[in-house]
Amino acid sequence: DAGVTQSPTHLIKTRGQHVTLRCSPISGHKSVSWYQQVLGQGPQFIFQYYEKEERGRGNFPDRFSARQFPNYSSELNVNALLLGDSALYLCASSLGGSGSYEQYFGPGTRLTVT
Amino acid sequence: QKEVEQNSGPLSVPEGAIASLNCTYSDRGSQSFFWYRQYSGKSPELIMSIYSNGDKEDGRFTAQLNKASQYVSLLIRDSQPSDSATYLCAVNMRSDYKLSFGAGTTVTVRA
């Protein structure tokens, strides 16, 4: 079975621009979470979606938004990019039901803001 | 206080030795605990999950959980050069579905 897929793999943007990152979960998984990982730190939680509804949001500004589609894929949008948004953006897939907390990560999108 | 803290690295062990990684967490109500392995430039890979007090073994990996002490550890037996990576401890706190991660411990296995 295919794992979690993310696109694009790498992205270079300029300050002030907008970016959209995409994620497809493992087949049968209904929950998608987004994390930001900067060098030398563990991933930081941004959002979680389950059955197209936002189930949790981390401590990120409103410039960050996300959504989940009927096929359970997801998009993460970041507006007005700042240099500090440069990071590895990770999508994690999980079954989503009660008690199923194991999350499996995709390969990530490396975002560089110049 | 950080939600999840890991012992500072880097940790260097000789091939064939046991690598011991430690993690403490702040929320006593935490329910689920995970260890991820992350190779340089790659994404985290889930290697162990543990939900109950005690030990859980999977191949050369053993996870240990002590909820009373708010402590979880990972032992890597017979360490191999391919085990050289950063190991991330992740905790699912209470009914939150997010994972809270430690900063990671980098392990180097020297031949």
Please name the residue that has the structure tokens 């032992």: B75
Distance from CA of A16 to the nearest CA of B (A): 26
Q: Report, as an integer, the average pLDDT of B74-90.
A: 98
Encoded amino acid at A84, one letter: G
A65 touches chain B (CB under 8 A): no
Tally of CB atoms within 10 A around A102 = 14
Asked whether residue A45 carries a pLDDT value surpassing 70, the answer given is yes
Length reported for chain A:
114
Strand pairing class (A109-113; A10-13): parallel
User: Cα distance from B96 to chain A (closest Cα, Å)?
Assistant: 8
Closest partner residue to B92 among A90, A101, A108, by Cβ? A101
Yes or no: say if B104 and B86 are a contact pair by the CB < 8 Å rule: yes
Q: Do residue A103 and residue B49 have CB atoms under 8 angstroms apart?
A: no
Count H helices, E strands: chain B? 0, 11
Strand B61-66 with B99-101, pairing? unpaired
Confirm if A109 and A11 have CB atoms less than 8 A apart: yes
pLDDT for position B8: 76
Name the minimum distance, in Å, from the CA of B52 to any CA of chain A: 13
Closest-CA residue of B relative to A55 is: B97
Query: How far is B6 from A39, CA to CA, in rounded Å?
Result: 16
B97 to A108: CB separation less than 8 angstroms, yes or no: no
pLDDT tens, position by position, B2-24: 899 998 789 999 999 999 999 99
More confident residue, B44 or A56: B44
Q: In the prediction, which pLDDT does A100 show? A: 67
Copy the structure tokens of residue B17: 């030795």
pLDDT at B5: 96
For chain B, what is the mean pLDDT? 94
- CB neighbour list of residue A99: distance below 8 Å, 6 or more residues apart: none
For tokens 């194991």, name the residue.
A102
Q: Which residue has the tokens 């992740």?
A: B90
